[in-house]
Amino acid sequence: MLNAGKALKVSIYVSEGSTHHGVSTYSSILDFLLYRGVAGATVLKGVAGFGADHHMHSASLVEISDRLPVKIEFIETPEKVNQLLGKLEELAGTGMIEIQETIIAKPAQTSKLQAALPLSHLKIEGKAKLMRIYIGESDRWRYKPLYIALVEAMRANDIAGVTVYRGILGYGAHRRAHKEKPGRLSHDCSIMLSVIDTEEKLQAFLPILDQMVAEGLVVLSEVDIVKYAYRPMEADSAGAQVPAADGKG
């Protein structure tokens, strides 16, 4: 996060239609700034202008020119700008980069909660169970798709999370091949629900699963959880910053 004081404002001018390795130049620059930890950046699109070739480009309701100027602008410390400048020159290609000295009178702030409680990067590891449920897309439970009903049931029973995958080719116990056909979607493809939670929660959900799934396959596996998360910090009795309790077990 930037602090009040002296800084540099960088403006990069490129053509909207220019690309870098097949990706729009302004998008490549924005991604680079984001993943290099720049405090913030803005992309501004021009409606008319000309460049080094002195060809006028403008936008109209009938035709939108892909050669209109685009400006990517960000403000950072001089040290940070010097670190980024070499790569930015490469990304900008034939575009122009302008750097101005500026003063930050009031730095941007995150929400009040985040401003009061700085974030701590945590790596959470542990043991859990992975449940995979294989059913057919056409399977129903009380007149609704079974996979939707299962997701709703898991959410109602506080299961941590579930992801639904749709198969494009496969067969089941009846040895009938199910294939997604070009131009139209088969309604008899396989569906897999992937669920990760504690063994106790998944075992408690199995009786409900037995009632809902008339025909299918359920697989349970042991997994190791590696989770990366940010949590706010709070001060302990000694004044040190420690991760705040979030009530999750």
Measured CA to CA, the distance from residue 243 to residue 245 in angstroms comes to: 7
CATH of 124-229, one of 1.10.3720.10, 3.40.390.10, 3.30.70.120, 3.30.1510.10: 3.30.70.120
Q: What is the pLDDT of residue 1?
A: 72
Torsion of CA 135, 139, 140, 145, to 10 degrees: 70
pLDDT, residue 160, reads 87
- pLDDT, tens digit only, all 249 positions of the chain: 788 999 999 999 998 889 988 889 999 999 899 888 898 999 998 776 565 555 655 545 434 455 678 999 999 999 999 999 999 999 999 999 999 999 999 888 766 555 555 556 666 678 899 999 999 889 999 889 999 999 999 988 889 889 999 988 766 555 565 555 554 444 568 899 999 999 999 999 999 999 999 999 999 999 998 877 666 555 445 444 444 544 444
Tokens 């542990």 sit on residue: 126
Q: What is the CATH number of domain 5-104?
A: 3.30.70.120
- Region of 175 on the Ramachandran plot (φ > 0 left; ψ -120 to 50 alpha; else beta): left
Q: Give span(s): CATH 3.30.70.120, the chain.
A: 5-104, 124-229
Q: What is the pLDDT of residue 183?
A: 47
Predicted TM-score (pTM) of the model is 0.50
* pLDDT at residue 118, rounded to an integer: 59
